[in-house]
A and B are shown apart, each in its own frame.
Chain A
């Protein structure tokens, strides 16, 4: 699909309009995942992958995998169609099997994978893969970043131990921000 930027934005606007017209609930869900999709890129600002992961090789794409049911719809694809992460093209894989996780930089674990979570975590825990979830309880199971919504605002919490084990470098700033949030309210 080869569309111009203008057309793309136009379509996006049309789409948003349509979605919002269809259902407020749907609209708000779409809105929420659009923010979450954007957040993924922001997190990468504060996180560094080890060199072994081939992060510096610009010819290789930055891989974001979504395991389980896709809550983003087309938002992820749309968001990263023209946006690079760490100077790399972004490739988004929608997977269902654990072995497909390999080579991913970010793994979004859908709430549908509640039961498989421990297997997934045990697979990723020694690998430089940033695991992100938005399901309550994922933080305790060892997901590195868990997103939650408070006062219509997406917040996040960082599992430092998991982060440490993953061999990823998490910036103190993100750490700090997470801690602040943590101190104030913790996971809701």
Chain B
């Protein structure tokens, strides 16, 4: 039944039921039909034999009395049975005695005249040949030819009936199968769908309801029990897993803890070993020490004796020395007292000096500030006066007035510089990262423009960025570079080189020129206010520029110095740290 394998259980059941039903019905029908048909044949045969016998019996006296007419009369009664087509009565010598109906010879049984009795179907007819016996004496023979048409019709009717019943039965069986198979397939399908659900959703809490009382019911119950067990096991497993996880975690922790402990233990052990070793060593050392000490003690006691002797000797000489020392000590104490006094004096003087310095600075600032206005007034009015008197003045007068204006302007300049200088001491430093190269280049360009009648040549190296107050440092560069330009104006080509170098680990900027220079003997005076190494006639100036520079550099915490070879080369160096 392999063909069934691919069908659903419903189809299987229907097919099985139908097959069983049809096999049973067909089998039953076949058997019953065979039996029936053979019965029909037998029945016909028996009936015909009986009829032949009876007719034969009736014919017996006609044979006995040799009454052919009566025999024919009796045979003619066979017309009541349409199945009998022909009948013949033979007398005891085998001659034709009476006859019913008509038949061609080829329809008759071949052994009709052979004095053999029979009752058989031959050539689609039933042939019966029976002896006519009366009281144990045979008087003749009766032969009957029976048609089977009626029999065939009966068989046909029977088969048709069977076929109709078969079809009706199969239809009923099919309808029944459809309904009956549900009682088997429905629960199975239910179980199947639930099982599918379970396998897809992995939800083991689903249960089969409506359990029947048959094996499927048992299956459903077992299935439910199984699901219940699976669910329980799953829960247990989850629990166990959780517990396992928890214990694993704990184990890990404890292992970790243990590791730490063991590590600590190891450390302690090591330390302990070390300590042991140390203590052993110490013990050893101690022993050695003790030995030494014992020896030393011995020596000491030896020395002690000697020492006592020397001490007594020395004590005497020491006493005399101590007396001398005490005298010297007294003299020194006096000296220290004097020095202390003089130090106090100096401190006081310093203090007053600082105060005076401050006052002086304040004074110079206020003086220079207050002086500016009158000087500007003098300058202005002098120029005005010169215009007023204009053409009427002589050359001598003009010269005198110009001297006045020149001096006033010089004074104004001086005052400005002084103010500038004092300003350098005031105010906070505003330190920023300043690009020196840009500042220097700009200044050089300005100076070149201002002194176009000079033959200035600037060489500017790459300069590092410096952390400083840009306004102040710009003033430094202006003063230094304009100084170089000023002091080399006597040269046909004024070379000014500006660069930086690393001197003693510090970034050092320099300005080099080939100007007049100065005598290095007086270099310490260079950075003091109003100190000038050249006359105004040689190089004009206020003598404040370098003082300003020095003050700015010092405020930045840097240093400025210079080297000069007169008329060859003069270099000013400065650092900002």
What residues make up the interface of A, taking CB atoms closer than 8 Å to B?
39, 42, 45-46, 153, 155, 171, 173-174, 176-177, 180-181, 184
Contacts and interface: CB of A to CB of B under 8 A. Distances in A.
B3 interface: no
22 contacts: A39-B65, A42-B64, A45-B64, A45-B135, A46-B61, A153-B67, A155-B67, A171-B61, A173-B57, A173-B58, A173-B134, A176-B58, A176-B61, A177-B61, A177-B65, A177-B67, A177-B70, A180-B70, A180-B73, A180-B74, A181-B70, A184-B69
B70 A173 contact: no
B134 A45 contact: yes
Given A173-B58, A176-B58, A42 B65 contact: yes
B48 interface: no
A169 B44 CA distance: 34
Interface in B56-92: 57-58, 60-62, 64-65, 67, 69-70, 73-74
Shortest beta-carbon contacts, A-B, top 10: A173-B61, A177-B61, A42-B64, A180-B70, A180-B73, A177-B70, A45-B135, A174-B61, A42-B65, A173-B60
Contacts of A45: 64, 134-135
Interface residues of B, number: 14
Contacts, number: 28
Interface of B: 57-58, 60-62, 64-65, 67, 69-70, 73-74, 134-135
A13 B65 CA distance: 23
Given A171-B61, A173-B134, 16 more contacts: A39-B65, A42-B64, A45-B135, A46-B61, A155-B67, A173-B57, A173-B58, A173-B61, A174-B61, A176-B61, A177-B62, A177-B65, A177-B67, A180-B73, A180-B74, A184-B69
Contacts of B62: 177
Interface centre among B58, B65, B73, B134 (most CB of A within 10 A): B65
A174 B134 CA distance: 12
A180 B70 CA distance: 7
Nearest to B66: A153
Contacts of A171: 61
Nearest to B73: A180
Nearest to A44: B135
B142 to A, nearest CB: 14
A173 B54 CA distance: 11
A55 to B, nearest CB: 14
Contacts of B74: 180
Contacts of A176: 58, 61
B140 to A, nearest CB: 14
A171 B61 CA distance: 10
Nearest to B134: A45
Contacts of B73: 180
B243 to A, nearest CB: 111
A77 B126 CA distance: 48
A42 B65 CA distance: 8
Nearest to A177: B61
Interface centre among A46, A155, A177, A184 (most CB of B within 10 A): A177
A169 B167 CA distance: 60
A176 B59 CA distance: 10
A87 B78 CA distance: 36
Nearest to A175: B61
Contacts of B57: 173
Contacts of B60: 173
Contacts of B65: 39, 42, 177
A128 to B, nearest CB: 19
A184 B72 CA distance: 13
Nearest to B70: A180
A173 B62 CA distance: 9
A120 to B, nearest CB: 26
Nearest to B62: A177
Contacts of A173: 57-58, 60-61, 134
B513 to A, nearest CB: 189
B40 to A, nearest CB: 31
Contacts of A184: 69
Nearest to A180: B70
Interface centre among B58, B60, B64, B73 (most CB of A within 10 A): B64
Contacts of B70: 177, 180-181
A176 B64 CA distance: 14
Contacts of A39: 65
Interface centre among A46, A174, A184 (most CB of B within 10 A): A46
A42 B69 CA distance: 18
Contacts of A155: 67
A39 B62 CA distance: 12
Nearest to A156: B65
Contacts of B134: 45, 173
Nearest to A173: B61
B543 to A, nearest CB: 197
Contacts of A174: 61
A43 to B, nearest CB: 9
B532 to A, nearest CB: 200
